[in-house]
Structure 1
Amino acid sequence: MRPVPGNLPAELNRFVGRADELAELTRLLGEVRLLTLVGVGGVGKTRLAVRTALSVRSADLEKRYCDGVWLAELSAIRDPGLLGHALVDALRVTDHSGRPAREVLRAHLADRDLLLVLDGFEQLVDPCAELVRDLLRHCPGLQVLAVGRRPLRLEGERTVPLAPMSDTDAARLFADRALDVAPGPALDEHDDAVRELCRRLDGIPLALELAAARLRALSVDQILRRIDDRFHLLTGGSRGELPRHRTLRTAIGWSHELCAPAERLLWARLSVFAGPFDLEAVEYVCAGPELPDESVLDVLGELIAQSVVVREESPAGPRYRMLDTVRAYGAEWLDALADTERMRRRHRDWYMGLVTWCEVDWFSARQVEIAACADSALPNLRAAIELCLETAGEAHLGQHLTGTLWFYWAGCGRLTEGRHWLERSLAPEVSRDEPREEPGQWHDGEGHEGARLKALWVLGYVAILQGDNTAAVRALYECRGEAARTGNALARAYAVHRLGCLALLTGDMPRAERLLRAALGAYRELGEINSNVLMGQAELALSLVFQGDLDAAVALCADVREICEESGERWARSYALYVHAYAAWTRGRLGEARALLTEAVTIHHTFNDLVGLVLAMELMALVTADEGDPAEAAVLQGAADRLWRSVGAPLFGSPTFGAPHEQCERRATEVLGPERYGARVAEGRALPPASAVERALAGPPAGSVPPRQPSGERRPQPALEAERRTDRETREPAGSPGQIGGEAAG
C-alpha cells in the first residue's frame, strides 16, 4: 500500500500525554470538515495538531486522505496577499500561469481528498477565514484542521479549546524533557517539588520545557525558589489579560531574567528575523560594541541550550529559528531598547547583500545551493522587501531587491510570488515619493532609476512566462523608453532581449531573431556575461531551429554549452540542451535527442522550472512516439497537459510550439486509435509531477524498434513555413550591434 503523501515534520522527541485530546480530535475529524484547535500561545496546539495529523495519516485511513495530509505554517505571513501563496507553497503546487493564488488552490483541490493543517493564522484571521470558506465550498474533498489562538467563526466550524496539561501529564512532560538536558537518574514525576513546579507553571508545555532547560545548572528546588522571585518581579501583562497569558509571559520572562546580559541582548536582536536564519546573518545583524563579533557564536549556543533558539538542518545547511512566542517577547525588549528600526535596517541590509551575492553566484556551479539558500531566506526576504516598501523614499531599494531576485522568480518556480512583489514595488503609491534622477546620476551602485528599470524588465520577463503578454509589453516598452531617456544601455538591452523572448513565444520567429541578435550585440559591447545572456543565445538558437536553420542553431547551443561547462552554469544549459535535442530529433537522431532531453528534464526538475520542464516533456513525448512506443508517448503528453495547466496557456498558444505536440498526437492516434490514445493521455494527466518526471526519464522500452526514418532531415511545420519566408528575410550575423536601433529600439 502506497504511503499517504504530505509534508508533516517528523517528531524529534517523545510526545507526552494529551491522550484524551488526541482521541477527541481524531473522532471529530471523522465528523466535520472544519475543526479548529484554539488556545493560548505555548499551550501545545501545534504539537497536538501535528500528532493528530500523523495519527490519521495511518494506512487504514488512506482512502479518506488519499491525496495527503499537509501542514501550512502561516505565522510568518503578515501580508494578506501572500496567504494564498503560502498555501500553494505548502501543498507543493507549482504554478506559473499568472492566475490568482486562490484560483490555483481551487483548481488543485477540486478533485482531491486531503487534510490541510493551518497553523498560526491569528494575525490574518479575517482573510484566512474568507479563504478557508471559499476553498471548502468549492473543494468537497478538502478537510481543514486549523490551529490558532482564536476560532475562524465560520459556518460548520467545530472549535476545540485546548486547556493546559493535567498535573499528571505536565509532570510526565517535565520529567521526560529533564532526561534530555540532564542525563542521569530520572526525575520522579510524583515528587512534590516537581508537582508544585508544574502547578506553578499552570501546565503550559512551553513553560515546562523552558524550565526543564534550566536543569543544566539548577535543581528543581532552586528553580521553584527563583520562580517565586520572578513571578513577584514580573507582573503578567495588561489588566484584563487571561491568567494563562500572564503565566506564560512570566515563565518566558523568568527564563529571560536567568539569561546573561549578552544573551538577553542577542535574544532581543534575533527577534527581527522572520524565519530561519544562519550564523553569518546573526553575526552581521546582531553584533555591535555590546556584542562583539567573536562572542556571537558562543552566546547563540547558550540560547540554543536554553531552548530559546532551535537549530535545524535544511537543504541550505544549518539554520536557526525562534518559536513565535519567544520571538515576540524578544521584540518587546527590542522596542524597550528603542532599537527596533535600526535592527530592521541592518536586517534589510544583510538580505540586500545576500540577494546581490546570490545573483552573481547564480552564474556558477553553485546554482543548486543558491536556490536552496533563497528558499530558506524567503520569509526574511519578504520582511526586507516590506520594510523598503513601507518606508518613504526607499522604494528603489525594494525594486532593487525584487529585480535582483529574477533568478529565483524565473529559475526556481516562483513566478507568481515574484510578480506580486515586483508589481508592489513598482506601484505608483509606493514610488511616488522617490526622488527623480537626472541621466547619469547613480546611487548605491545601481541608482534609483536603474533599480526601477531592472524591476520593469524582470516584471516583463515574469509576465511573459505566465502568458500575460499585455502586461509584459507594457512593462518592457516602459523600460525600453526610460532606458533610452536616461542613457541606460544595459537596461535597454534587457528590455529588447525580453521583447525578443515574447516574439519567440508568440510565434513571430523573424522578429524574435532580429531582437535577440540586437540584444546579444549590445551585451557583447557592454561586456555583460551571465545566465541571462546565455538564455538569450539559446532563445536565438530556438528561433533559428523553428526557421529551419539547424546548423546555425546547433553552433549557438554548442557555444552556450561550452561556456556552461567552464562556469558550472546549469539553468541556461538546460535550455540549450532542449534546442540541441530539437535539432537532433529533426535530423532523425532519436538516441541523441533522448539523451539531451534526459539531462534537460533532470535540470529543470531540480530547479522546479516548470516552463522548461513542460517544453522538454512535450518533445520527449514526440521522441518516444518515434522510438516505437506511442502508448507511452500519450502518457507523457497527458502529464505535460497537467503541467501546462500550472504554466498558463498550453504551448503558449503558439502554433510553432504546438507543432511537436500535434505531430505526436497524430502518430500516436494512428497506431492506438482515438479511444486507447485518450485513455493513456488520461493516465498521464493523473500523474503528479515527480512521477511524470520519473516516467520521462525511464528511457525507451526494452526491445522497442523505432520505425524506419526517411532519409535526410524531417521538416517540422514551423521550418516549412520559415522556408517560404527566407527569400524575404535578411539575417544579420549573430549579435550584430547595429540591430539595437531600428525595430529593436522602436
Structure 2
Amino acid sequence: MQASATRGSAGRSPRASSFVGRRQEVTEVKRLLAAHRLVSLTGPGGVGKTRLALHVLPALTKRFADGVHVVQLAGVRDSSLVPLALAEALNIRDVSGRSPVEVLVEHLGERELLLVLDNCEHLADACAELLGTLLARTARVRALATSRHPLGVAGQHVLEVQPLPTPAPGEPLPPKPALEYPALALFADRAAEVLPGFALTADNQEAVAALCHRLDGLPLAIELAAVRMRALGVRQVLDRLDRRYRLLADAEDAPARHRTLRATVDWSHDLCTPQEQAVWAHASVFAGSFDLDAVEEVCAGAGLDRDATVDAVAGLVDKSLLVRDGDTVHARYRMLESIRHYGLDRLRESGADAEVEARRRVRDWCLGFVEECERRWFGPDQPELVRRLHAESDTVRAALEFCLGTPGEVRAGLKLAGHLWFFWFATGALMEGRFWLERLLAADPEPTRERARALWALALMLLSQGDAVRGGPLAEESHELALRLGDETEAAHTYFGRGGARLISGSFERAREVYEEALSRPPREGESMSLVGFKYVELAHVLSLQGEYERAMALCAEFRRICLAHGEQWIHSYLLRILAFAEWSRGDQVSARTHARECLRLKRAVGDVFGIGITLELLAAVHARSGEGRPAAVLLGAARRIWRDAHVALDRTPSHGPVRDEAEAAARALLGDAFGPAHREGLELDPDDAVGYALGERTSSARRVPDSPLTRREAEVAELLGQGLTNQQIADRLVVAVRTAEGHVERILSKLGFTSRSQVAVWTASRGTARP
C-alpha cells in the first residue's frame, strides 16, 4: 500500500513515458470533478484509465486547498486493508485505537481535497463502501476512481474511457494523421524509444494506421507492439499480429478488445526466452514492486540461478513487460495489472501447486528479510532499513495474507508479524500492526514461542495507543507463556510492555519494580538490544518523575555509550529526551536545550513523528522557562498539529502533560495576545519543518512557494531532484529520514501529475526554482 498507500503508494505512477492524446477526456474529467463529488473512470484493461487520471492531476491541485492524494490499490488484496491504504496515503499515524474508517472520517472532516483511488476493480465492494461513507460524512472531499467496472456508490458519475481513435480500413489519411488520430501518435512515440529516428512518413503511415486499427486503439497493446520495432518493420508486426488474432478469435468467445490485448500479450510472451517466461510467471505473485533479491529467491523455485534471473529481468524491462522504478541506487520493478494477471494465468497453467509454492517462497523471503532487518536494527542502518521495509510493504502484506488464508501457514504468519514489531512501533504504524497481530493470534491459539512474541508485540501496539486495559494483560499473558515454555529470551522481551502498562496507568512505583527487576538481570542470548534499551529509558523516566534526577541521568549516560558504540539512533533519541526532561526538571535549561535538540535530530533521521511531538513540547517548555515566549508558542503549535493529525487529544506519556501545560501557561503569560498568532504559525509546520524551526535551520513557517502547489520543503526537494540526487542523497543533504525524502518525492509527483523525476527536473528548470 505503499501506502501502496503505500504505502497503495501515494502519488506513484505506473509508467514514466510521455502522455499522448486524450484532450477531450482530460477536459471532461475536469468538468465532471467540478460538478460531481465522485467520478469513476471505467474501461477494459490496457485502455489507459490510470494514465488519464494521473495526467489530469496537475490542473486540479489548485482547486483543492488540502491537496490531491493518490492511493495505488493494485498491491492491496485484502478488502479490509482499503481503509489502511487510504490512511497511509494521507500520512495518518493514528494512535487513538479507533477503527480506521472513523479515523479517516475525522481526519477528512472539513478538509478540501481530492482522493484518487487507482485500480479498484478487485476491491470494488470495499472501495464503494468506504467512498460512500466518506462522501456522506464529509463536506468537501471529492474522489476520482479508476476501475474496470463502475463502483456501486450513489451519486457517482461514470466516464467510460474509450480506446484511442484510429482510421477505418481504407479510409484516406489526412496530411498530418498523428494530429487527428492519437493512436498513431502513440505508436510513433513509443517506436522512437526503441528505434531512434522513427517517425510517421508517407511510406509507413498506412501500415501504422492498419496496425493501430487491428489493435483496437488500446494504448497498452499499441505500446507492446511498438517494442517489436526494435527487430521488425511495421508491416511485419501487423502480419504476425493478424495471424495470432485469427487463431485467438477461433478459440475464444470473448469481446474483440479482450482478444486484441490477449493476442498482443501472447505474442510478447512467445518472443520471450524460456527464462524470461519463467520470471514473468513467478514474479506475477508479487503484489507490488520488488527488487532483484526478492525475485531471485522466488525464481530459484523455477530452477533459475541468480545470473539467469538478472538477465531475464533486464530482458523483460527491454520488452516493456516490467517497469523499472526506484532510482540509480535502488532499482525496483513492477508489472502493469494486465501483464501481471497474464503471468498469473501462465503460472497456474504450469502446475496445480505452482502458485501456492511461489507465494510460499515469497513468504519465506519476507521472513528472512524481516529477521535480517530486526538483527541489524540496533545499529547505524536504521534509516536505510526503514526505507527498505516501506518499499517492501505490499509484498509483506501479501505474505501475511497468504498465511492467514492458506491451511497450515498461520504459524509462519504469526512468526513474521512478531518480527515486524520494531518497524510498526518505530514508524507509528500501530493500526496496521494491530490489524495483523490480532487476526493471526485469533487464528492460532496454540501455546508457542511465536504466540508469546506476538502477544507482547500486540501489547506494545495497544500501550502506544494508551490502552493499558487490553495491553497490560496481553503483556502478562506473554510473560507467563514464555516462562511456561522455558523461553527466557521472550520472557525478557515482555518487561517493556509489563512496566509500560503500569507507567501509563500512573502506578509509578509498580512500574519501577518491573524495570528494576528487568535491569537486575543481564540480557539473554538473542534478546533485542532495542528492548534492553527501552528498559533503561523507562526506568530513567520513572526515576525522573519521582525526582531522582541524578540516577536517571546516570542510566541514560550508561546506555547512551552503548548506542554510540553501535551507531544506534532510535533508542538513543529516547534516552536524550528523558535526559533533557530530567535536566529541565532540575533547572538546567542549557543542557536540556542541547539534549532536546540532539534528540530531535535523531528522531527526524528515523522518522519518529510521535517522538518529535513530545520533544517539541519539551523544548517549548525550555524556551518558556528561559523567557522566550514566541519560539515556545510556535513549537507548541507544531506539536499540536502532530497530535491533531494523529487524532489524539494528548500523548500518553506521563511526563508529557505537565511539561506541555507549564510551557503553554508560561508562553501565554509572556506573549499575551501575541500567543495566538505564534501558535497558529506552528500549526502550519509539518514535522520536518517543525524540527528545522526548533534547530534554528529556518525562521519562517511560510508554507507554499508563490504560484506553486509545492510547500517550501517540497520545492527544496524538487530542486535536489533536478540536480539528479537519489532519495538517499536528498535525505543526507536535508538531514531527514529516507522515508521522509521518499514521501516528499511522492507528493511532488502527485501534486505536479508527473510520472518521472526527469519531468520534475524540467519543471524546476523552467521555473528557475531556487532553494527557499
Normalised by the size of structure 1, how large is the TM-score? Answer: 0.86
Q: How much has 1:411 moved relative to structure 2? A: 0.7
Contact kept, 8 Å, 2:42 with 2:160, in 1: the verdict is yes
Q: CA RMSD in A?
A: 2.3
Tell me which residue corresponds to 1:19.
23
5 Å-filtered alignment, 1:269-284, equals: 269-284=282-297
Tell me which residue corresponds to 1:201.
215
Task: Tell me whether 127-136 or 482-491 shows the greater mean CA deviation.
Answer: 482-491
> 1:370–1:386: structure 2 CA closer, same or farther, 3 Å change rule?
same
Identity of aligned residues (%): 41
Contact kept, 8 Å, 2:95 with 2:648, in 1: the verdict is no
Cα distance in structure 2, aligned partners of 1:143 and 1:156: 12
> 1:154–1:89: structure 2 CA closer, same or farther, 3 Å change rule?
same
Contact kept, 8 Å, 2:492 with 2:527, in 1: the verdict is no
From 341, 350, 356, the equivalent of 1:337 is 350
Task: Tell me whether 365-374 or 383-392 shows the greater mean CA deviation.
Answer: 383-392
Q: How much has 1:484 moved relative to structure 2? A: 2.4
Tell me which residue corresponds to 2:408.
393
From 357, 361, 364, the equivalent of 1:349 is 364
Q: Which one-letter code corresponds to 1:21 in the other structure?
A: E
Tell me which residue corresponds to 2:197.
184
> 1:471–1:236: structure 2 CA closer, same or farther, 3 Å change rule?
farther
Tell me which residue corresponds to 1:56.
60
Contact kept, 8 Å, 1:413 with 1:608, in 2: the verdict is no
Cα distance in structure 1, aligned partners of 2:395 and 2:190: 31
Q: Which one-letter code corresponds to 1:229 in the other structure?
A: R
Cα distance in structure 1, aligned partners of 2:434 and 2:517: 27
Q: State the SS of the aligned residue for 1:30.
A: helix
From 415, 418, 438, the equivalent of 1:423 is 438
Contact kept, 8 Å, 2:612 with 2:687, in 1: the verdict is no
From 421, 424, 427, the equivalent of 1:406 is 421
Q: How much has 1:652 moved relative to structure 2? A: 4.5
Tell me which residue corresponds to 2:389.
374
Q: How much has 1:638 moved relative to structure 2? A: 2.6
> 1:94–1:249: structure 2 CA closer, same or farther, 3 Å change rule?
same
Tell me which residue corresponds to 2:41.
37
Contact kept, 8 Å, 1:402 with 1:421, in 2: the verdict is yes
Task: Tell me whether 230-239 or 450-459 shows the greater mean CA deviation.
Answer: 230-239
Contact kept, 8 Å, 2:583 with 2:589, in 1: the verdict is yes
C-alpha distance after superposition, 1:497-525 (max 9, x if no partner): 31112222333222222111222334535
Task: Tell me whether 114-123 or 679-688 shows the greater mean CA deviation.
Answer: 679-688
Q: State the SS of the aligned residue for 1:524.
A: coil
From 336, 341, 349, the equivalent of 1:328 is 341
Task: Tell me whether 181-190 or 555-564 shows the greater mean CA deviation.
Answer: 181-190
> 1:689–1:236: structure 2 CA closer, same or farther, 3 Å change rule?
farther
C-alpha distance after superposition, 1:539-582 (max 9, x if no partner): 11111111111111111111222111111111101001101111
Tell me which residue corresponds to 2:245.
231
Q: State the SS of the aligned residue for 1:13.
A: coil
Contact kept, 8 Å, 2:609 with 2:687, in 1: the verdict is no
> 1:179–1:671: structure 2 CA closer, same or farther, 3 Å change rule?
same
Q: Does 1:259 align with 2:272?
A: yes
> 1:652–1:30: structure 2 CA closer, same or farther, 3 Å change rule?
closer
Q: How much has 1:253 moved relative to structure 2? A: 1.4
Q: How much has 1:174 moved relative to structure 2? A: 0.4
Normalised by the size of structure 2, how large is the TM-score? Answer: 0.83
5 Å-filtered alignment, 1:709-720, equals: none
Tell me which residue corresponds to 1:599.
598
Tell me which residue corresponds to 2:451.
452
Q: How much has 1:90 moved relative to structure 2? A: 1.0
Q: How much has 1:89 moved relative to structure 2? A: 1.0
C-alpha distance after superposition, 1:169-220 (max 9, x if no partner): 1010000111111112424387111111101111111111111111112221
Quick check: which has more Rg, 1 or 2?
1
Q: Does 1:475 align with 2:488?
A: no
Contact kept, 8 Å, 1:506 with 1:652, in 2: the verdict is no
C-alpha distance after superposition, 1:612-638 (max 9, x if no partner): 122111101101212322133123223
Cα distance in structure 2, aligned partners of 1:648 and 1:461: 19
Task: Tell me whether 180-189 or 141-150 shows the greater mean CA deviation.
Answer: 180-189
> 1:654–1:576: structure 2 CA closer, same or farther, 3 Å change rule?
closer
> 1:651–1:25: structure 2 CA closer, same or farther, 3 Å change rule?
closer
Contact kept, 8 Å, 1:275 with 1:321, in 2: the verdict is yes
Structure 2 unaligned residues grouped into runs of 5+? 1-8, 167-180, 701-772
Query: Which one scores higher on RCO, CA 8 angstroms, separation ≥ 6?
Result: 2
Q: How much has 1:660 moved relative to structure 2? A: 0.8
Contact kept, 8 Å, 1:8 with 1:54, in 2: the verdict is no
Cα distance in structure 2, aligned partners of 1:655 and 1:267: 54
Cα distance in structure 2, aligned partners of 1:124 and 1:695: 42
From 219, 223, 228, the equivalent of 1:214 is 228
Tell me which residue corresponds to 1:556.
555
Q: Does 1:169 align with 2:182?
A: yes
Tell me which residue corresponds to 2:576.
577
> 1:567–1:130: structure 2 CA closer, same or farther, 3 Å change rule?
same
Cα distance in structure 2, aligned partners of 1:370 and 1:132: 34
Structure 1 unaligned residues grouped into runs of 5+? 1-5, 437-448, 703-746
From 306, 313, 331, the equivalent of 1:293 is 306
C-alpha distance after superposition, 1:663-715 (max 9, x if no partner): 11221222233x5434543443444333333333337989xxxxxxxxxxxxx
How many aligned residue pairs are there? 674
Cα distance in structure 2, aligned partners of 1:700 and 1:180: 44
Contact kept, 8 Å, 2:107 with 2:645, in 1: the verdict is no
Tell me which residue corresponds to 1:318.
331
Tell me which residue corresponds to 1:155.
154
Cα distance in structure 1, aligned partners of 2:10 and 2:84: 16
Q: Does 1:363 align with 2:378?
A: yes
Q: How much has 1:236 moved relative to structure 2? A: 8.5
Cα distance in structure 1, aligned partners of 2:639 and 2:144: 33
C-alpha distance after superposition, 1:402-446 (max 9, x if no partner): 11001111012211101100101101xx215x5x6xxxxxxxxxx
Cα distance in structure 1, aligned partners of 2:329 and 2:136: 38
Cα distance in structure 1, aligned partners of 2:293 and 2:364: 13
Cα distance in structure 2, aligned partners of 1:571 and 1:653: 19
